[in-house]
Amino acid sequence: MKYIILSFLIIAALQAGAQKKAGRATKGKNTIGLYPAAQKHFNLIDSLRWKDVEGLEAENEKLIQTIARHRAEIFNLDDAHDFDLLYIAKSPDNKFSLVSWDTRMGGTMIIFATMAIFKTADGTINYKMLTDSIETGIEHSLMRYDTLYSINTAKGNLYLAQGRGQGSTVLPWQELRAFRIENNQLVNPVVFPDKKYKLFVEFDTHQFSDRDKIPTIKIRESGKTILLPIPTEQEGFSGKYQTLVFSGFVYKVK
């Protein structure tokens, strides 16, 4: 009998260790329900792609509602860059997050959608869908954001979201978009030159050789300095960058 009891105790200990290890592996991703719920939507979205446009739109709307229901849990997740599922970027102060995904409603132009999730002064967690930033008439963001920077200012934290998109297989997009939480609302403050709240860069890869790399918007000092690549008239790379420095209120060209 004692051998049976001993065997039982060994098996129980092994199972407990395995469960503990599995818990560590899934921490910040699958344990709180967002990913399994989102995966169900994406399974249906992928099955509807190219077949049922209305069904595809409807399922993306359901996905939006699912993410909205889990919005409080987003702040307990790690940042994630998952091409087939969700891109999650969180601010350093854990008060602002962007969740992006490929809606599968585009072709060579990828139609990304992005939900902004933010905490108000009283602790309420609100959300807002971002709309197209390049005035195409499409309601979604067209950008997926993978990094958030934060700068402390007299008006509160200024957030900079770095995003990427694709106008076609040869037209990669980049964007740096400013956000601030003011009066419990998410706003886009005008902080860039020419009274803009975003910086947008597009290149045509026809202008690059196979060995050339697409230059990216470079962020220094947690966002206080920005190096913006300058395209040519043909949307190649000029080899030059415009340097923007934060003055405490707005960015100025150096």
Identify the band that residue 135 occupies on the pLDDT scale cut at 50, 70 and 90: low
Helix/strand/coil percent split, the chain, to 5: 25, 35, 35
The answer to whether 105 touches 111, Cβ cutoff 8 Å, is yes
With a pLDDT cut of 90, the percent of the chain lying above it is: 76
At 138 the pLDDT is: 67
Q: What is the mean pLDDT of residues 66-93?
A: 90
Residue 29 has pLDDT above 70, yes or no: no
Can you point out the beta strands (E) in the chain?
80-81, 87-90, 96-102, 112-119, 125-129, 144-153, 156-168, 171-182, 185-187, 198-202, 218-220, 225-231, 237-246, 251-253
Residues 6+ apart with CB under 8 A from 137: none
Residue 87 has pLDDT above 70, yes or no: yes
Residues 6+ apart with CB under 8 A from 208: 214, 236, 237
Residue 41 has pLDDT above 50, yes or no: yes
Determine how many CB atoms are found less than 10 A away from the CB of residue 117.
23
**For residue 173, what are its two tokens?**
């997009």
Q: What is the mean pLDDT of residues 237-248?
A: 97
**For residue 252, what are its two tokens?**
């100025």
Residue 137 has pLDDT above 90, yes or no: no
At 80 the pLDDT is: 82
* Mean pLDDT of the residues in the chain: 87
- Top mean pLDDT of 19-28, 130-139, 164-173 is at 164-173
- pLDDT per position as a tens digit, 198-236: 999 999 999 999 889 999 999 999 999 999 999 999 999
Is 228 strand, coil or helix? strand
Is 66 strand, coil or helix? helix
Distance CA 21, CA 156 (A): 40
At 22 the pLDDT is: 36
With a pLDDT cut of 70, the percent of the chain lying above it is: 85
At 83 the pLDDT is: 66
Smallest CA-to-CA distance from 96 within 144, 51, 135, 147 is with: 147
Residue 30 has pLDDT above 80, yes or no: no
> Would you say the C-alpha torsion 216, 74, 83, 128 has a positive or negative sign?
negative
- Every domain of the chain and the residues it spans: 1-27, 77-253
